[in-house]
Amino acid sequence: MARCAQLEVMGTRETAPGTSPGRLRVPAGMRVGIACGGTGGHLFPGMAVAELLLEAGACVTLFVSPKEVDRRGVRGLPGVEVVTLPVAAWQAGSRVACLLGMMGSWVRVRRHLRGVAGWVVLGMGGFSSVPVVAAAWWLGCPVVLHEANAVPGRANRRLARWAERVLVGFEEAGRGWRGVEVRVTGTPVRREIAELAAWDAGRRLERRREVLSELGLDGARPTVLVVGGSQGARGLNERVTACAVNWQGTGRGVPQWIHLTGVQDEERIRGVYRSAGVPAVVMAFSDRMVDLLVAADAVVARSGASFLAELAAARVPAVLIPFPAAVDDHQWHNARLYADTGAARLLGQSEAVPDRLRRELELLLWDERVRSGMVEALGRWHRPGAAAAVVEELVVVAGRNRGTVREPRAGGKAGRG
């Protein structure tokens, strides 16, 4: 009979940001495959775990998609083996490509894992995890899943039957799993962003001025950072620019903008700001998220779980506008948890009309009571030990399976001895 999962909250201890690998131990010969491609929300937490694993002595392979966000992201993590899979998302008009990509990816992962002992596979969720986890299970390699969102994703819900353990970012996501152990670890954050939590006000102010100067912006002017996510966000882009243009004519403390648009909207949005005379720096993506968060006095963003974890580490007040078409409306549920605790303001996309969005941002920019309360609330969401907690769970699973040999599945050969 399937049993209900028992939750254990981990990753809450007060470790220094970027936990020292000296406190982590991995078994000799431990190999970890991390399926984390497709979006920045899957990639960056996976990279944070990979970084700690490398320093603790494990061999690490990242399985990623061909998307630009993956190609750009993995450049910043030397020493990790990267395997790009021909995987594609399940979308209208691309289902044949998705199925073919899944099959090709499964074969490639199987060839990579089989015949080598010591593998543990970590799936970070999303479509690109499916062939990796399936191949690992077929070969008998232990599988661990991480679910960052408040509402478990479809891929993880289906893959959980093959996992020995599920790790979750939000405690709310830990309920309802059956037949699998569940741990609340938090969502790992890139080390350079986690370290922002330890910066004092003087250091932040000095670096803020430097970054704004480098970007050609005014160091004395309030600055709003707009982040649509690694895939971009047309609805968000349009609402923010409408607010910025409307605000320009009000004459009250008009802010300047740093706007990450995604590739498709970059030139169009840049033209809107330029035509309206609004001071703005527009980029499709940026590899300088630490600098941009330090430069920002307020943020307007979608509410993917990975970015929310980064926001908590950086402690920047934000207006969250969830992507309304997100599967199971998971972005709204993520944002609601932050808003209910005072860690962010929440607007539905239809509510984010220019006047309403401007009023919300005015509170974050100039009401010190609101700002300080939100910064304090964000700090309560930050889990500095999340990446270390995930690594520790992988070590436990590896140790539990060490020296065992499983029967081949459907004619396969076990992947470890």
Provide the annotated binding site for UDP-N-acetyl-alpha-D-glucosamine.
39-41, 149, 190, 230, 331
Q: Which of 293, 295, 345 is nearest to 321 (CA)?
A: 345
Alpha-carbon 2 to chain mean position: 31
Task: Point out the annotated binding site.
Answer: 39-41, 149, 190, 230, 331
Alpha-carbon 399 to chain mean position: 28
Per-residue burial over 178-192, b = 16 or more CB atoms within 10 Å of its CB, e = otherwise: eebbbbbbbbbbbbb
Which two three-digit tokens encode residue 39? 């979006």
Which two three-digit tokens encode residue 342? 């005072």
Other C-beta atoms lying within 10 Å of the C-beta of residue 80: 17
Q: Using only the alpha carbons of the chain, give its radius of gyration.
A: 22
Strands (E) located in 331-406: 345-346
Q: Give CA separation, 215 vs 168, 271, 371, in Å.
A: 37, 18, 25
Cα 181 from Cα 8, distance rounded (Å): 9
Type of residue found at 156: N
Terminal C-alpha separation, the chain:
30
Strands (E) located in 330-413: 345-346
Q: Give CA separation, 271 vs 34, 211, 258, in Å.
A: 40, 23, 14
- The residues, any chain, with a CB within 8 Å of residue 197's CB and separated by 6 or more, are 17, 313, 314, 315, 379, 382, 384
Cα 294 from Cα 184, distance rounded (Å): 28
Q: Residue for token digits 């648009």? A: 261
Bridge partners (DSSP) of residue 259 are: 226, 282
Q: Residue for token digits 């009979």? A: 1
Q: Residue for token digits 């479509």? A: 127
- The residues, any chain, with a CB within 8 Å of residue 16's CB and separated by 6 or more, are 198, 384
Which two three-digit tokens encode residue 296? 């920002």
